[in-house]
Amino acid sequence: MPDTSLFVGRRWIKIAVRRSGFYRLPFSRFKSFAPFNNDTTYATDSLRLYTWAGMPLLPEATYCDSCGYSEVALGVVDDDGRMNHAGDAIYFYALGPSDWADRYDPRLADTLFVNHPYETRNFYYLA
């Protein structure tokens, strides 16, 4: 990847999601991991969450390992703008690896179920 890429030189926390739904992740669960390294002065407005948007199955004909990643809406439970208290947390809505097709792409039929043949988890990346 070129050094102008969003992905180069960053440390990520990989979050595995087994099914669709809202997730709450307390800061105490990830504060010891890189890139945080127990830093309790980390600004909450610097947090970013990414995932492979759309269908969880990668296209075979036009595969690009960084083209499909997009930022995910992220909520923060915090009272002072820093991740430094026991109650601080992030929350987000995540799609699992298998679900109704219209959840991945609204243009698809709501009667089509996508059953991922190779994976039991979908992944989100926190930076």
Instruction: Tell me which H or E stretch contains 28.
Output: helix 27-30
Give pLDDT, residue 92. Answer: 94
Q: In this predicted model, what pLDDT tens digit does every residue of 51-97 receive, in sequence order?
A: 876 666 666 676 666 666 788 899 988 888 788 877 888 999 988 88
Name the residue ranges covered by the structural domains of the chain. Answer: 13-126
Residues 19-37: b if buried by 16+ CB within 10 A, e if exposed: ebeeeebebeebbeeeebe
51 beta partners: 70, 124
DSSP labels, 62-85: T--TTTTEEE---EEE-SSSBS-S
In this prediction, residues 95-115 reach a mean pLDDT of 84
Q: Tell me 2's DSSP state.
A: -
Q: In this predicted model, what pLDDT tens digit does every residue of 14-49 receive, in sequence order?
A: 899 998 899 999 988 888 887 778 777 778 888 888
